[in-house]
Structure 1
Amino acid sequence: MTPDTLSAPTAFQQFDVTTHPSQGVTNVAALRAEMHRLGLDGFIVPHEDEHQNEYLPDANERLAWVSGFTGSAGSAIVFLDRAILYADGRYTLQSREQTDRSVWEVKDFHGNSLADDIAAAPAGSVIGYDAALISPTSLNTLLAAAAGAGVELKSLSPNPLDVAWGAARPSQPAAPIVPQPLEFAGVASVDKRGQIARNLKANGLAAALITAPSSLAWLFNIRGGDVIRSPLPLGQAVLKDDGSAELFIQPTKITDCLLEWLGNEVSVRTPAEIETTLAGLACRSVLIDAALSSAFWLEALTSAGAKPFLADDPCMLPKACKNPTEIAGTKAAHVRDGAVLTEFLYWVATEAQETLPTEIEVAKKLESLRIAAGGLKDLSFDTISGFGPHGALPHYRVTTASDLRIAPGNLLLVDSGAQFADGTTDVTRTMAIGTPTAEHKRMFTLVLKGHIALATAKFPAGTTGTHLDILARQFLWAEGFDYDHGTGHGVGVYLGVHEGPQRIAKALNRYALQTGMIVSNEPGFYKEGDFGIRIENLQYVTEAKIPKGGERAMHGFANLTWAPIDRSLIAVEMLTPAERQYMDDYHAEVVRLVGQLVKSEVRAWLEEVCAPL
């Protein structure tokens, strides 16, 4: 399908995300009227919703409603006389395009914080917040800043923004919840619940309050459709120390097959009934995660007379360590998606070099190929399609207002992913349009060397991603360069494309990389206003075999993503023999795995671009 036939929106991708700035002005005025009625000098508007989601249902897009900014991360504070939006470097361009600058001051998270502006507010100011939208950990930071400045932070219910939004606010989602079959999940819910329950009992805990949607999905082997880009069911659960559980979800989401799937040890309740369940835990210790749950739930436990025990969500670590069935499924999903990516890269290398499509047309082409291949549940995130200077924005999101047409002499960066029933994919490829420059090749090869160094690393048990991050940066550092994002994030299996607790980044991370954890490997380089480079594959942690033995248990990575890397951008003379061998082996495996799944003309091209260096 050519770009000319892709003008209509497809089933998943939305590009016209530029809300009209005047709408934001009107909505800020409506919020301020409600603030004035309540005697507030300011009000905090996080991006996160009641479930601390990264991607939100329309009804919970509060930050977008008040500011116009639709990015997946950010926050705001609205005062009676000014308004501040905080966004990170991923959304530098978008945050400025989508907000009325006569109303909104836009600040980068780097070097600026909501706590700083609360601390700078006049003494005696009253600033409101919704406890359901802020984690206890975040709230404690804000409370400390407010106390030091003589500012009062006031918890409010109902949320004044919701009141101002009024009847125009969309309804909460009510997508049916469906089983995630054992052929994909690998371990039965009863076994997952039993293991966690034994741990609770061993630590003297009566129950755990689970509020993270991804934990609900994993623990009960269910999936939902309440959240775009992630197949999550919204709700809460109480898991008791005997392995039984109560799942609190809207009745409209319940199907007969769901009740049969959950079994007799799981009681399905309405959200209104959770108060009674918490009251039944009075005087008993209940685990709650202060980072993943909201302050509302911590207050609810305390009000019920329970004894909150602050610890990690008990599902987080076992969910991150994929079982053999999940690894097998995600391998299969990546091979199928690798064939789609190869078809796409062939199109970029041939037809697109002549037709020179726009960034949106590029993204729609890739999406159309994924849809045509079958089995696609959703994208795993909005496709990043950035040409030239837009590629230098690490998490640029193309809109109808920013759409550029590609042209010879620069680079196209496409970061995309898909949700399948058996796996979640995330891959970035940087492609030359026309003939690359010597600078393009030099910088691409420095990034590639870091990518290879991380992919081939061997490390002792107990190593965290913080310890490994330098491997991917070392060649850039040696030449005086760096990139300002993490090197790798965790990924779920038909769950979120961003999953903790593991990550590979400069920032300290206390979680060791364990067998079965999936992480991305995505070093990059970004020349502001000119071009960007990123090479991303997903990989999972395995036990490493050391040829001559060794003294300690070691781990390494096994690759998941299979799609050619643009050889025209590789300065082969900069690679060591071992690095060249890695590339030759990788490309040979690409041909072996995906070559049989693509058309004959694509197979011929694939064999050419994957030939030994």
Structure 2
Amino acid sequence: MKTENVDAYIIPTSDEHLSEYVSKFDERRVFITGFKGSAGTAVVLSDGTRALWTDGRYFLQADQELDCNWLLMKESVDGVPTIPEWLKDKLQPNSVVGADPKLISAMEWLEYEKDFQESQITMRGIAKNLVDELRPGREEIEGPEIPIQILELQFAGKKWEEKVADVRKELEKQQADMIVITAMDENAWLFNLRGGDVPHNPGTLNALASLDSVKKVILPSKYSYSGGANYAIYSAIKAGNSWNEISAADRLEKFRAEQEYYHSLSFDTISAFGSNGAIIHYSPSPETNKEITNQSLYLLDSGGQYKDGTTDVTRTLHYGTPTKFQKEAYTRVLKGAINLALLTFPKGTKDTRVDIVARSSLYEVGLDYRHGTGHGIGMFLNIHEAPTQMRIYGTEEHELKEGYFFSDVQVH
């Protein structure tokens, strides 16, 4: 760890396929901890502190097999910190957490990076596995006694060539160049092969081809017992075209222009990433233009003028993992929009008075937004058409009448 200049090192259970069970060749966590359960993650600090996280199936077993040098962290028990929480408490700002990127899923790695960001802690992939450096005779571990077998057609159901052809058809539908299949059982099923590289699991360890010459790749995500693609595979794929606020707005305008009856935009597109989304009526400029990444929210408020109508569409997107607060705020805004759309009200009700229905879910937790909820929309006319205003802060009130057309979005 000193040689690699890392302050902590994460040692998961999994192999490069992110399998639930691993071969003896890949039992790194067992070697370093002595704990033989099938689930658990070890973390070692540069000062010698070490801890193991495992779930309720293995609390007793881990307590028996770990020696006194290890802290047992019982997952999902009140008061027990998660790995990121524990590391943020133990490490100083600008610390580095190392791990083998081949053994941690891309999703988990990105979550670590996000959790550590505020504490100024960095995740670093280390090509050589530090546990393997300590394992004498690892290369001499005997391989499986069960050779790879071809599964007969009567059991496989289809020839492997037919299965691959089906996958290629799906790739064409998705307009992708490649799909990366990392799970041992999925590869075994696809090619009608069975083996014994991992005890009791008749899959086979296999390698991956180069990813340099493709433009769009479908990667597996974590699902149930499958860990998805590891971070090494994820980071090996070169990113495609990047997007920023201006390029996204320009592309959207191009798509609108291709639609029938299109005349023009109905207002300047609000294309806002991250903190720019908090600026009401924000318009991107070369000075403020931000790249759109998977690290925050992207607000896209746009509309078009068409001969058969005028549109105003707001979308809030996140291409990564939103925070708990972002999810809550989004959900409460959505509840308000649904409540307003379903509202039944008596004749004579004023527009500004129903706005509270859209805001009530936010009011429950002390939140609000400083702009209207909706407004009248013209028919190939003004995007803001009098008299309707769903604006609780408005100084005018107008009776809602049959035939009025207005938006039900948290407009800027």
TM-score (norm. length: structure 2): 0.53
1:87 aligns with 2:57: no
CA–CA distance in structure 1, aligned partners of residues 31 and 199 of structure 2: 17
State the match for 1:131 in structure 2: 101
**One of 175, 199, 212 as aligned partner of 1:279:** 212
1:340-368 Cα shifts (integer Å, max 9, x gaps):
xxxxxxxxxxxxxxxxxxxxxxxxxxxxx
State the match for 1:330 in structure 2: none
Equivalent pairs, count: 231
**One of 228, 231, 234 as aligned partner of 1:298:** 234
Q: Any idea what SS the aligned residue of 2:87 has? A: helix
Q: Aligned in 2, Cα 1:158/1:171: closer, same or farther, shift over 3 Å?
A: same
Q: Aligned in 2, Cα 1:42/1:169: closer, same or farther, shift over 3 Å?
A: farther
Contact 2:52–2:70 (Cα < 8 Å) also in 1: yes
Q: Any idea what SS the aligned residue of 1:78 has? A: strand
For residue 140 of structure 1, what is the amino acid of its counterpart?
A: L
1:180 aligns with 2:147: no
- Identity percentage of aligned residues: 27
Contact 2:23–2:197 (Cα < 8 Å) also in 1: yes
Computing the radius of gyration over CA atoms, which structure comes out larger, 1 or 2?
Answer: 2
State the match for 2:160 in structure 1: 189
1:47 aligns with 2:17: no
State the match for 2:131 in structure 1: 161
1:214-236 Cα shifts (integer Å, max 9, x gaps):
11011111111100110010114
CA–CA distance in structure 1, aligned partners of residues 230 and 87 of structure 2: 20
Contact 1:301–1:307 (Cα < 8 Å) also in 2: no
CA–CA distance in structure 1, aligned partners of residues 118 and 143 of structure 2: 40
1:59 aligns with 2:28: no
State the match for 1:205 in structure 2: 176
1:158 Cα offset (Å): 0.7
Contact 1:285–1:307 (Cα < 8 Å) also in 2: no
CA–CA distance in structure 2, aligned partners of residues 170 and 154 of structure 1: 29
The list of structure 1 runs, each at least 4 consecutive aligned residues, that deviate by more than 3 angstroms after superposition, is 166-175, 305-308
CA–CA distance in structure 2, aligned partners of residues 168 and 179 of structure 1: 29
For residue 294 of structure 1, what is the amino acid of its counterpart?
A: N
CA–CA distance in structure 2, aligned partners of residues 233 and 156 of structure 1: 25
Contact 2:132–2:138 (Cα < 8 Å) also in 1: no
CA–CA distance in structure 2, aligned partners of residues 99 and 307 of structure 1: 48
1:288 aligns with 2:219: yes
For residue 65 of structure 2, what is the amino acid of its counterpart?
A: Q
CA–CA distance in structure 1, aligned partners of residues 61 and 31 of structure 2: 15
1:168-197 Cα shifts (integer Å, max 9, x gaps):
455473653211112212222222222221
TM-score (norm. length: structure 1): 0.36
Contact 1:134–1:295 (Cα < 8 Å) also in 2: yes
For residue 49 of structure 2, what is the amino acid of its counterpart?
A: R
Contact 1:59–1:170 (Cα < 8 Å) also in 2: no
Q: Any idea what SS the aligned residue of 2:42 has? A: strand
CA–CA distance in structure 2, aligned partners of residues 57 and 170 of structure 1: 13
CA–CA distance in structure 1, aligned partners of residues 97 and 143 of structure 2: 30
CA–CA distance in structure 2, aligned partners of residues 63 and 88 of structure 1: 15
- Higher relative contact order at CA 8 Å, sep ≥6: structure 1 or structure 2? 1
Contact 2:88–2:116 (Cα < 8 Å) also in 1: yes
State the match for 2:261 in structure 1: none
For residue 161 of structure 2, what is the amino acid of its counterpart?
A: V
Structure 2 unaligned runs (5+)? Answer: 223-227, 243-412
For the aligned residues, what is the CA RMSD? Answer: 2.1
Contact 2:41–2:53 (Cα < 8 Å) also in 1: yes
1:110-133 Cα shifts (integer Å, max 9, x gaps):
144212222222222221111000
1:38 Cα offset (Å): 2.2
Contact 1:55–1:229 (Cα < 8 Å) also in 2: no
Structure 1 unaligned runs (5+)? Answer: 1-34, 237-247, 249-273, 309-613
1:307 Cα offset (Å): 8.1
For residue 148 of structure 1, what is the amino acid of its counterpart?
A: E
State the match for 1:96 in structure 2: 63
CA–CA distance in structure 1, aligned partners of residues 7 and 173 of structure 2: 48
For residue 139 of structure 1, what is the amino acid of its counterpart?
A: W
For residue 280 of structure 1, what is the amino acid of its counterpart?
A: S
